[in-house]
Structures are given as C-alpha cells and as structure tokens.
Amino acid sequence: MKPAPFAYRRPGSLADAVAALAGDAGAKVLAGGQSLVPLLSMRLAAPSMLVDINAIPGLDTITADDIGVTVGALARHADVLASDDVRRVQPLVPMALSRVAHATIRNRGTTVGSLVHADAAAEMPVVLTLLGGSLEVVGPSGSRTVPAHELYVGPLECCLHHDEIAVSAFFPALAPGAGVAFDEIARRHGDYALVGAAALVDGDSVKVGYLSVADVPTVVDLSGVPDDRLGDVALEHLDPADDVHATADYRAQLVRVLTARVVRSAREGTR
C-alpha cells in the first residue's frame, strides 16, 4: 500500500498551479487528500504528478451573506461545519457536513475537493445540486462558473477539464419560508451512506436529492406528489443497485423511508 512514483509540485500561486496541470496530462490536484491519498496507496490511481494547492494563499475563505455561502477550495469540512454564518444562511450545508465521514477526516478534507471528486455516495455533491449552487473554476484561459446541474457527468466524473482548478463553491441561501432537511442511513457511524436524502421545500415546491442510489447526484422534483407516494415516485428516477452491503430492494425501501422523513422534516423546519 505504497503509491507508485509521482512528481510533486507545491506552487505558491493559482497561475503556477494551472500551468503545472497544463504541462502534464497525468497531473492531479491535491487538496485535503482524503479520497486521493487512499487511491494512491492502493495503486488504484497513479498520477504522474501531484499539484499540491495547499500553499496557495486566499483559497481557504468561507463567506456567507444574504445571497449564499461561498467556500474556498482549501476550506476544510470542519471549518465550514463550525461556521455560524454558514448555518444561518444555508442550514442544509452543516446538516449534511455533520454526516461526512469522521471528525479526523473532516479536519483535513475539503468541501470543494469532495464536490469535484464527484462521488455519488458523498453528501456535498447532492447538496450543491439540490440547492442549485455552482463551482468557480480557473483554467489556462481564465475563470468560469459551472452550475451544479452541469457539473456531474458520470460516476466519479465531473465536467472540469484536467487543467482546471475549482477555486470555490457557492451554495445559495435558504429562501424565507423555505425548509431543508438531511438524513442518511449507513452501516456504521461515518460510513458512506447506503442511501441518503436531502430535501428542499419551498411553498408547493418539493425537491429531494439522493446519494448512493444513482450514478450521479440526483435530484427529483416531487412537487404535487401525494405524501404516501413520495418515495415510489422518486424511485422512478433512481437506480438503486446491489452491493456487498445491501440489496437494491433494501435501498429502495430506504429511499421510501428517508424521502418521507426528510420531506416531513423540511416542512417542519420552514422559516
């Protein structure tokens, strides 16, 4: 469990980081390393170069205003989770973050890193998608904003080019009168969820995002669906699968249970 050889760069500026990425088609960005380093150790990934962005100043900011929450590429899960401003502006972010792995992993792992790792079993990609957030991305030709609904294109795959770096994520604020909720069921505390669900209720609009039951983070619009049909309707848009931990059937049951729970909870929590 030792990584294959790789080159290592630790640039001091974004421009240098982008240049390093552009110069090596096999290069990968290293931020918190909580997903990447285990992949390296198991030799499931063997990038030719790691571009460590931890020395780039100004990427660890967390700001929250009436519009929403902006999280920098080096902001750790634990710091985002601890922010009262974030909690006030968009409570779904800390609700979901508290279920991301364990404290030690949250201390090192970054929220933006989790977003671009694009794991459909992770909490934050679903939250960004449900809320209609976006990523700010910098590449050789400048910066662009990628809306969440365009971000996830396949299993563990987002639409960023290999020489682009996500510098921040934007989570829109919770609108007055709207409510959110998050819940998941995992085999053990802190494990990847067998199924997770995040709800956003605003007036008649009911949307629920799901993790671990589709190839990509998936949001289903359940507006107007009767309460006793919520889960079943959601399942028409999802693709729960068998694995060593649970059957597809069981995951479907959890979709039903969790959908009802998060929708109820989001309604109860409306402001």
Partner 1 sequence: MTTKLMGQAVQRVEDQRFLRGQGRYVDDVALGTATLHAAVLRSPHAHARIVDIDVSEVLDVEGVHAVWTYDDLEGPMAEPLPLLIPHPALTHGRTQYALANGEVNYVGEAVAFVVADDRYVAEDAVDRIRVDYELLPPVVGIPAARAAERLVHDDVPGNVGARLEQNVGDARAAIAAAPHRLALDLTVERSACQPMEGRGTVARWDPDLNRLQAWTSTQTSTGVRAAIAVKLGLDLGQVDVITPDVGGGFGVKINHPWPEELLVPLAAKTLGRTVKFTEDRREHFISTAHERGQEQHIEVGFDDDGRLLGLDVEFWHDHGAYTPYGLIVPIITSTQLLGPYKPRSYRVVFESLYTNTVMVTPYRGAGRPQGCYAMERTMDAIASYLGKDRAEVRAANFIQPDEFPYDHGLVFQDGRELEYDSGDYPASLEKLKTLVGWDEFPQFRAEMAAQGRRVGIGLACYVEGTGVGPYEGAHVHIETSGKVKVATGLTTQGQGHATVFAQLVADELGVRFEDVEVVTGDTRRMPYAVGTFASRAAVMSGSAIHLAAKRAKEKVLKIAADALEVDEKDLQIADGVVSVKGAPPDSVGASIDLGTVSVLSNPLRYAFDEASKAATQFQVGDPGKPPVAEDDEPGLEGRDFYSPERATFASGMHAVIVETDPETAEISILKYAVVHDCGNLINPMIVEGQIHGGVAQGVGGALYERMAYDESGQLLNASFMDFLMPYVTEVPDGIDIDHVETPSPLNPLGIKGAGEAGVIPSAAVFAAAIEDAEGIPITAMPISPSDLFALRRSVGQARDQSDAKERP
Task: Using CB under 8 A, list all residues that contact partner 1.
Answer: 1-5, 42-43, 185, 187-192, 194, 244-247, 249-250, 253-254, 257
Judged by beta carbon, residue 5 or residue 142, the one nearer partner 1 is 5
Token pair belonging to 168: 């921040």
Shortest spacing between CB 193 and partner 1, in angstroms: 12
Instruction: Using DSSP bridges, classify how beta strands 62-64 and 27-30 pair: parallel, antiparallel or unpaired.
Output: unpaired
Q: How far apart, in whole angstroms, are the C-alpha atoms of residue 158 and residue 174? A: 25
Shortest spacing between CB 2 and partner 1, in angstroms: 4
Judged by beta carbon, residue 88 or residue 187, the one nearer partner 1 is 187
Q: How far apart, in whole angstroms, are the C-alpha atoms of residue 181 and residue 174? A: 12
Own/partner long-range contacts of 151-155 (Cβ < 8 Å, ≥24 apart): 151/115, 151/118, 151/125, 152/118, 152/120, 152/125, 152/216, 152/217, 153/216, 154/215, 154/216, 155/118, 155/120, 155/215, 155/216
Judged by beta carbon, residue 35 or residue 129, the one nearer partner 1 is 35
Judged by beta carbon, residue 245 or residue 271, the one nearer partner 1 is 245
In degrees and rounded to multiples of 5, residue 131 shows phi and psi of: -80, -10
Judged by beta carbon, residue 38 or residue 154, the one nearer partner 1 is 38
Count the Cβ atoms, other than its own, within 10 Å of residue 154: 11
Shortest spacing between CB 1 and partner 1, in angstroms: 4
Token pair belonging to 50: 């790691």
Shortest spacing between CB 208 and partner 1, in angstroms: 17
Judged by beta carbon, residue 162 or residue 229, the one nearer partner 1 is 229
Can you state the percent helix, strand and coil of the chain, rounding each to 5? 35, 30, 40
Let me know: does 97 contact 124? Beta carbons within 8 Å.
yes
Shortest spacing between CB 105 and partner 1, in angstroms: 12
Judged by beta carbon, residue 159 or residue 260, the one nearer partner 1 is 260
Shortest spacing between CB 257 and partner 1, in angstroms: 5
Shortest spacing between CB 243 and partner 1, in angstroms: 8
Count the Cβ atoms, other than its own, within 10 Å of residue 223: 11
First to last CA, the chain: 49
Shortest spacing between CB 266 and partner 1, in angstroms: 19
Judged by beta carbon, residue 166 or residue 235, the one nearer partner 1 is 235
Sign of the torsion formed by the C-alpha atoms of 85, 150, 158 and 9: negative
The DSSP H or E segment spanning 148 is helix 148-151
